[in-house]
Structure 1
Amino acid sequence: MPARPPPAPAAAPTAAAPAPALPARERLLVEAMRLFGERGFDAVTTREICSAAGVNPGAIHYHFGDKDGLYAEVLRGPVRDLQLSMAGFDDPAISLHEAICRFVRPFLFDDGSCSTQLFLREMVAPSRIFMEMVTGEIGPIFDRFAQLLARHAGMDAPNAALHQLAMGLQAMAHDYALSRPVLDAFHPELLADDPHLEQTCHRLADWGCVLVDYERQRHLNP
């Protein structure tokens, strides 16, 4: 019997290719978000941001015009993500309960990111740039939500109570996320079986439906 040829040597493992570096514009946004979130807008210089992003000092001017333009784009990113997360919340084909769930669900999630830190800073001491963002891009989202509530309450347009209800439902959702450590310290059993707050989302929608019906009855029987 002929001798069996020796086995071929095992191929050396191929090293994984390094992840491609982010474009300069994206690196500036990432580092600016981190630094602004940690220390606030006024305490961070453009030179620090460029150094952290590994770009030349003129990069901010090239991509964003100036520091204000960079900050506006940093704020705009999470707003775009929010709009994508709640897409279709005011679709007339879905129920009020599902509509409220779609609207409040994004506010129930806090990943501890720099954007959360940054927006908390702005809630305490809002800047001019942030207020322009609120007026131009965030306000219309809440107006659509209030209009949705009005439609289900049998009104042509939302009144003050429904505008307040729209803000109140969002505030409850946001507070559940941001105050989760405190709530767990008070009553750790309350959310033990709801790690992603999905049950809480549905409960908030339950309450929202009841409150919309209450406003509908007030509208019909002033």
Structure 2
Amino acid sequence: MPPRKPLAADALPARERLLHEAACLFGERGFAAVPTREICAAAGVNPGAIHYHFGDKDGLYAEVLRLPVQDLLQRMSGFDDPGMSLHDSICRFVRPFLFDDGACSAQLFLREMQAPSSIFLAMVGEEIGPIFDRFAALLARHAGLAEPDAAIFQLAMGLQAMAHDYAMSRPMLDAFHPELLVNDPQLEQTCIRLADWGCALVEYERKKHA
């Protein structure tokens, strides 16, 4: 990661500065390794600001994790609209997982996926679990099933994981075969291809249960 400059003291309100600096510091070194005083110093606020805005360090971390998830859920909103085609639905669901805007949250979530904290797992259960179940239900409906079975849940996880891995592993893929994505910098063509594969796999499950 390139050297990071702390935000100017008046660039954002104190609460937003705390969230920004905490996300970057937690992403760089992990939750346990970052003292609250360092976060406050980086944000240019007094040491009691975390208690005032978030209650404690756990509360700050929960909000740091929640905000990018809320943004992701907003961007995939409406993916299971009954009037939408399966291909368009899969595209809308996986597209937010494909793109890394360079924010500190990408590094933070990679760290959490490798060694998940109890705060992260609770947030995943509350925020991401229900939307994942809706995605599985969508795939089940198009496969002709009343509800998802184990194969459908695995398919839902596989599509999500493939999209997520493109964003997380992009530097490795560019190192192996830089020509593959040179004409697809925002991974839009990749998103369409993942949806193509998803439709083919749903059709496979539909035929299996016919």
The TM-score bracket by the shorter chain reads over 0.9
The aligned residue for residue 171 of structure 1 is 161
Q: Which of 5, 11, 16 matches 1:21?
A: 11
2:75 pairs with one of 85, 93, 96: 85
For the residues of structure 2 that align with 1:52 and 1:60, how far apart are their CA atoms?
12
The residue type paired with residue 24 of structure 2 is: R
Work out the CA distance in 1 between the residues paired with 2:16 and 2:170. Answer: 31
How far is the alpha carbon of 1:179 from its aligned partner? 1.6
AA at the equivalent of 1:122:
E
1:147 aligned residue: 137
Instruction: State the one-letter code of the partner of 2:190.
Output: T
Q: Is the 8 A contact 2:110 2:168 kept in 1?
A: no
**Runs ≥4 residues deviating over 3 A:** none
Distance 1:111 1:144 in 2: 26
Q: State the shift of 1:113 in Å.
A: 2.1
Q: Which has the larger radius of gyration?
A: 1
The corresponding residue for 1:104 is 94
- Among 52, 55, 60, the alignment partner of 2:45 is 55
Alignment partner of 1:34 out of 1, 4, 24:
24
Deviation at residue 199 of structure 1 after TM alignment: 0.7
Uncovered stretches (5+) of structure 2, i.e. residues with no partner:
1-7
1:160 to 121, 134, 150: 150
Report the Cα distance in structure 1 between the residues aligned to 2:143 and 2:200, rounded to whole angstroms. Answer: 11
Hey, what does 1:6 align to over in structure 2? none
AA aligned opposite 2:55: G
Structure 1 residue ranges without an equivalent (≥5): 1-17
Query: Please, what TM-score do these two structures have when normalized by structure 2?
Result: 0.93
Number of aligned positions between the proteins: 203
RMSD: 1.5
